[in-house]
Structure 1
Amino acid sequence: MEKQFIKNIEFSKALEMVNLVDYQPGKVVSLTLSQNKTLSMTLFAFAQGEAISSHSAPGDAMVYILDGQAEITIGDNKIMATTGQVVVMPAGIPHGLDAVGNFKMLLVLVM
């Protein structure tokens, strides 16, 4: 079998990305799609009230909101992002996310 670069998702099939992770009360659910030295792709489902506290990343992090709404803090800047919107968080700048309501996102980290 040849090496697969993407995991935890069916190949050669049209899928609704938003349906690949489910909400769970009081939890942040994640599904890693790819992870290596230069790229990480992870799907997340945040229950309302959950958060990722402020931290910085070694590469640029792009968040694509698949469902719901999140408050994203980058440095001192707060951004409200909703379904269909994308936000890029620059490398080395502290950032965090708060689930205003339930929300799902695709996180792509490029290093």
Structure 2
Amino acid sequence: MFVVKAEEAERMENPHGVDVRALLKKENVKVMLVTLKPGEALERHTTPFDAFIYIIKGKAVVEVGEENEKVKKDTLVFLPKDIPHAVKNEGNLTLKFLVVKLG
């Protein structure tokens, strides 16, 4: 059995300077827990793989390509490979979400 506690998971360095924890790293899938304080963001970037985010706590503005949408807890957003995307915490509370990288 594989069990990991988020608070004990490895903290990953990232160009956004935010709290990213590696919950699972396997050959074809990676699961990261991202915590954004109010005003923090994963700035616009692209990735060479498909991914999705799942909001656990808080509210976010998610940008995929030219589209923006406000999302909240219990929402999934698909992020296609090679399409610019961003996630911003524009609220007053902490935002937590999973990032699942496929492939």
TM-score (norm 1): 0.74
Gaps of 5+ in 2: 8-16
Which residue type is aligned with residue 36 of structure 2? F
Give the aligned partner of residue 24 of structure 1.
none
Q: How many Å separate the matches in 2 of 1:64 and 1:56?
A: 18
1:63 Cα offset (Å):
0.4
Give the aligned partner of residue 70 of structure 1.
60
Larger Rg computed on CA atoms: 1
1:28 Cα offset (Å):
2.5
| Identical counterparts, % of pairs | 26
RMSD (CA atoms) = 1.9
Give runs of ≥4 in structure 1 deviating > 3 Å: none
Q: How many Å separate the matches in 2 of 1:99 and 1:81?
A: 10
Which secondary structure does the structure 1 equivalent of 2:61 belong to?
Answer: strand
Q: How many Å separate the matches in 2 of 1:54 and 1:30?
A: 16
Give the aligned partner of residue 91 of structure 1.
81
Give the aligned partner of residue 30 of structure 1.
20
1:52 aligns with 2:36: no
Which secondary structure does the structure 1 equivalent of 2:90 belong to?
Answer: strand
1:106 aligns with 2:98: yes
| 1:28-87 Cα distance to aligned partner (Å, 9 max, x none) | 222101224421100011100001111111111110000000101111100111001110
1:61 aligns with 2:48: no
Relative to structure 2, which stretch is displaced further, 77-86 or 33-42? Answer: 33-42
Give the aligned partner of residue 43 of structure 1.
33
Query: How many matched pairs?
Result: 92
